[in-house]
């Protein structure tokens, strides 16, 4: 068995792939996504979660998620195409509107209430991804998540101003998380997100308000009898003889950004 065959077998062994394969209608995913779905969504299976997917096209993903999460899940689809309303006859809730329109999201939130998971598989433009995230983070329950697929468009032409790419939006959130460190000045107070998970082409924003509000401060389990010397800047830690090897590792780490 080749390495590719082994990876295919591993993918096909996931519950997410099984649900994908069994869907009675067409849907489109990438092979690398199924393990991500397992990692992020397995804890919700069999529970009465509210799951929202932006972008449903031929409807197959709605059935995929019903199979994956179970019959107790509330599955909601969002699309621009009015014909998507036909899937309501199969027990799904369908909303028609533009994900880049804040007024659509205001109406949606008023109608639906809190949700546990939002999966953005919509148009993948930066504006659509950012507006959806900004409008919906407050709507996610504690312990829930907002997941954006296909963020590889941040590295492609035709999806918007690269300065406002979704990659830069994610970077801004990483900066927000780290700005909470106790010794930094409080330059912002946005605590809607507790953590950010990054996978190939997928980013998940995890919501847990109590953890997000924890105050960052140093704490000891006990006072040391004799404090250890901090050797970070000790003369013996200069490692001059290994300078070339260290520079090689740094160059390797940033090789993606070579001209």
Give residue 177's pLDDT.
96
The predicted model scores a pTM of: 0.91
Whether 189 maps to a domain, the answer reads: yes
- The β-bridge partners of 95 are 78
Give residue 242's pLDDT.
82
Give residue 259's pLDDT.
56
Nearest CA among 175, 171, 198 for reference residue 188: 175
Point out the residues of the chain with pLDDT beneath 50. none
Whether 4 maps to a domain, the answer reads: no
**CATH assignment at residue 91:** 3.40.50.150
Whole-angstrom Cα distance, residue 59 to residue 24? Answer: 9
Domain carrying residue 99: 25-212
Whether 43 maps to a domain, the answer reads: yes
Give residue 257's pLDDT.
81
Whether 244 maps to a domain, the answer reads: no
Q: How many domains does the chain have?
A: 1
């Amino acid at each position: 068995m080749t390495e590719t065959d082994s990876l295919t077998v591993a993918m096909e062994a996931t519950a997410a792939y099984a649900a994908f394969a069994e869907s009675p209608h067409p849907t489109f995913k990438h092979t690398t996504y199924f393990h991500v779905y397992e990692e992020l969504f397995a804890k919700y299976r069999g529970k009465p979660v509210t799951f929202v997917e932006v972008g449903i096209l031929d409807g197959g993903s709605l059935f995929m998620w019903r199979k994956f999460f179970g019959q107790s899940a509330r599955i909601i689809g969002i699309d621009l195409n009015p014909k998507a309303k036909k899937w309501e006859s199969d027990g799904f809730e369908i909303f028609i509107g533009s994900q880049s329109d804040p007024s659509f999201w205001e109406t949606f939130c008023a109608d639906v209430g809190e949700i546990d998971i939002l999966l953005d598989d919509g148009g993948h433009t930066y504006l659509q991804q950012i507006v959806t995230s900004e409008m919906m983070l407050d709507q996610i329950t504690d312990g829930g998540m907002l997941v954006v697929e296909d963020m590889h468009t941040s590295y492609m032409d035709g999806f918007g101003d690269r300065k406002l790419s979704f990659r830069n939006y994610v970077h801004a959130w990483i900066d927000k998380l780290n700005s909470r460190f106790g010794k930094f000045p409080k330059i912002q107070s946005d605590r809607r997100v507790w953590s950010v998970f990054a996978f190939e082409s997928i980013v998940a924003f995890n919501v847990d308000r109590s953890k997000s509000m924890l105050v960052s401060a140093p704490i000891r389990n006990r006072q040391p009898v004799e404090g250890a010397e901090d050797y970070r800047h000790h003369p013996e830690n200069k490692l001059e003889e290994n300078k070339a090897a260290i520079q090689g590792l740094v160059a390797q780490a940033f090789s993606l950004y070579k001209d």
